[in-house]
């Protein structure tokens, strides 16, 4: 077994032979005789065990000289965290690099952000992955590019920039060097071109999409969000770039995202945002197993995930408007806020600057709540990177508002809203539930409690 993992070589062998979908994304199978690496669910003929090597990270297989399989496409495997027990700093560095941090900052800046030296950061990567941080970043850029070549109608030039490369020539050279194929050869595998760009996002385990759609439908902002029986769509602004997306399941384990983006260089950031917003990187079966052990009647719908919102700022505004009123009343005020501040229909969620400059007298709610919203907007305008805990310093913002932002704005997994009225009623029905017993999956316990309302 190459690298750190809870899986033994024997477990990988059995999972590979059974093509067990539960292990998809947890390890990769490299075949010495072909020079190709695959997902454990690959439908190709099973190679002999003596011709096989196992890797827990796609980047390790690329580093070893293997190229990704064009049939099972390991670039589209569900994300899985296989680094339990490794230093927290190393985990943070992996996540930041996968999100494209080294495309905009230097290694020294990344190390400063992590609170370590760049030399120590290089040592961590060499120890745990056998490669440098920059190599790891390059491999993730290339796997993202390969995914776009398969599942997007974007031009190769746009894909190069969307993947973080500064020029098409550098992209072509790096792709051919690592993948052993040119981007054009990968693109020829496509038989259909679509008028609108799309990308497929894989996930693992059950996903109760109808529950998520119903949750969004009840809280939708008209003109900004649209929900039908199959899909969720909305317009957005991401780092100053306007865009739109529509997401819906296309088959089991895959969500298809159609998108329009004014600057394709923000595509990776959009994908990261959507994976967080729709909770696509969670091992739901493990979570439900723990909650079932507390009380087998708690879960009446399998596959409930966290239906996130676009940002913590948006979650904070929603929470302030929802203080001590019904969901219907809160969404009514939210729609009034958005439509009043954007009368020309240029729909995006109001920014802190827009709310700070507005006369909020049109809102039909207590003056104290209007003042809280104004204070919050002024605070976020001056402190856009403030932590959620810092919100508590503002008059009118208490733990419920902050926890709501943790739950839906940051999609934190362990936010049990035991002060919520519906959750309190559920705790009477399920006395085994408390903050300690549901850790580290308090957020999921919250949503399962709400599902009983």
Which pLDDT does position 2 carry in this prediction? 60
Domain termination residue (choose one: 40, 61, 76): 76
Same domain, yes or no, for 226 and 321?
no
359 part of a folded domain? yes
Same domain, yes or no, for 445 and 334?
yes
> What angle (nearest 5°) sits at the alpha carbon of residue 448, between those of residues 447 and 453?
90
155 part of a folded domain? no
387 burial via Cβ count (<10 Å: 0-12, 13-18, 19+): exposed
pTM: 0.77
Same domain, yes or no, for 425 and 342?
yes
Same domain, yes or no, for 316 and 256?
no
Domain termination residue (choose one: 76, 98, 128): 76
Domain termination residue (choose one: 76, 104, 128): 76
386 part of a folded domain? yes
81 part of a folded domain? no
Which helix H or strand E contains 67, and what residues bound it? strand 67-68
Same domain, yes or no, for 342 and 248?
no
3-class state of residue 246 by DSSP: strand
The rounded distance, in Å, linking the Cα atoms of 414 and 192 is: 43
Which pLDDT does position 345 carry in this prediction? 64
Backbone angles phi, psi at 256, to 5 degrees: -100, 130
Same domain, yes or no, for 389 and 320?
yes
pLDDT per residue of the chain (453 residues) written in tens, 0 to 9: 665 455 688 888 888 888 877 788 889 999 999 999 999 988 889 999 999 999 988 899 999 999 999 888 888 777 654 444 456 788 888 888 888 888 878 999 999 888 889 999 999 898 888 899 999 999 989 989 998 888 777 889 989 999 989 899 999 999 999 988 899 888 865 545 556 788 888 888 999 999 999 999 999 999 899 999 899 999 999 988 999 999 999 999 999 999 999 888 889 889 999 999 999 988 898 899 999 999 999 999 999 999 999 999 999 999 999 987 888 999 999 999 999 998 676 678 999 999 999 999 999 999 999 999 999 999 999 999 899 999 999 999 999 999 999 999 999 999 999 988 899 999 999 999 999 999 999 999 999 999 998
How many separate domains does the chain show?
Answer: 3
56 part of a folded domain? yes
Same domain, yes or no, for 369 and 434?
yes
Which helix H or strand E contains 175, and what residues bound it? helix 168-179
Same domain, yes or no, for 319 and 394?
yes
Q: Which two tokens stand for residue 302?
A: 């399998």
The rounded distance, in Å, linking the Cα atoms of 8 and 367 is: 61
357 part of a folded domain? yes
390 part of a folded domain? yes
CATH code of the domain covering residue 394: 1.10.340.30
Q: Which two tokens stand for residue 126?
A: 């060499």
CATH code of the domain covering residue 232: 3.30.310.20
Range of the domain at 216: 197-261
CATH code of the domain covering residue 63: 3.40.10.10
125 part of a folded domain? no
Which helix H or strand E contains 236, and what residues bound it? strand 232-238
Which pLDDT does position 4 carry in this prediction? 45
Same domain, yes or no, for 420 and 317?
yes
Same domain, yes or no, for 433 and 335?
yes
247, 308 Cβ separation under 8 angstroms: no
Which pLDDT does position 6 carry in this prediction? 57
Residues in the chain: 453
Residue 180 CB contacts under 8 Å (≥ 6 apart), including other chains: 35, 67
Same domain, yes or no, for 253 and 327?
no
Question: What secondary structure letter does DSSP report for 309?
Answer: -
Question: Which of 53, 129, 65 is CA-nearest to residue 97?
Answer: 129
Same domain, yes or no, for 348 and 413?
yes
Bond prior to 440 in cis (omega within 30° of 0): yes
């Amino acid at each position: 077994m190459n690298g750190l993992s809870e899986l033994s070589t024997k477990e990988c062998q059995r999972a590979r032979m059974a093509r067990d979908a539960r292990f998809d994304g947890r390890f990769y199978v490299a075949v010495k005789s072909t020079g190709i690496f695959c997902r454990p669910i690959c439908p190709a003929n099973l190679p002999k065990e003596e011709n096989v090597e196992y890797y827990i990270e796609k980047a390790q297989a690329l580093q070893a000289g293997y190229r990704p399989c064009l049939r099972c496409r390991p670039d589209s495997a569900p994300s899985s965290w296989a680094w339990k027990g490794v230093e927290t700093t190393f985990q943070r560095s992996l996540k930041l690099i996968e999100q494209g941090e080294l495309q905009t900052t230097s290694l020294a800046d990344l190390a400063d952000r992590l609170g370590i030296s760049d030399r120590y950061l290089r040592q961590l990567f060499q120890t745990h992955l056998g490669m440098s941080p920059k190599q790891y970043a390059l491999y993730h850029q290339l796997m993202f590019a390969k995914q776009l070549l398969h599942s997007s109608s974007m031009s190769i030039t746009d894909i190069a920039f969307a993947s973080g490369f500064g020029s098409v020539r550098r992209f072509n050279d790096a792709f051919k060097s690592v993948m052993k194929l040119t981007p054009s050869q990968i693109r020829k595998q496509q038989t259909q071109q679509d008028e609108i760009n799309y990308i497929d996002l894989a996930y693992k385990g059950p996903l109760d999409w109808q529950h998520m759609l119903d949750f969004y439908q009840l809280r939708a902002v008209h003109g900004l969000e649209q929900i039908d029986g199959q899909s969720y769509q909305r317009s957005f602004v991401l780092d100053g770039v306007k865009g739109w997306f529509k997401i819906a399941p296309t088959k089991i384990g895959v969500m298809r995202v159609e998108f329009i983006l004014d600057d394709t260089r923000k595509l990776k950031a959009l994908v990261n945002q959507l994976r967080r917003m729709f909770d696509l990187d969670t091992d739901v079966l493990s979570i439900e197993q723990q909650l079932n052990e507390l009380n087998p009647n708690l879960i009446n719908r399998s596959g409930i995930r966290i239906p996130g919102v676009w940002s913590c700022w948006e979650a904070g505004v929603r929470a302030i408007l929802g203080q001590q009123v019904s969901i219907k009343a809160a969404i009514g005020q939210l729609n009034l806020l958005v439509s009043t501040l954007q009368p020309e229909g240029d729909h995006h969620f109001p920014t802190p600057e827009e709310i700070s400059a507005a006369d909020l007298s049109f809102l039909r709610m207590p003056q104290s709540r209007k003042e809280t919203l104004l204070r919050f907007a002024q605070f976020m305008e001056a402190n856009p990177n403030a932590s959620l805990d810092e919100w508590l310093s503002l008059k009118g913002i208490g733990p419920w508002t902050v926890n709501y932002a943790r739950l839906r704005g940051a999609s934190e997994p362990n936010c049990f809203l035991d002060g919520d009225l519906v959750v309190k009623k559920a705790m009477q029905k399920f006395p085994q539930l408390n903050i300690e017993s549901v850790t580290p999956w308090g957020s999921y316990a919250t949503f399962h409690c709400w599902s009983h309302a």
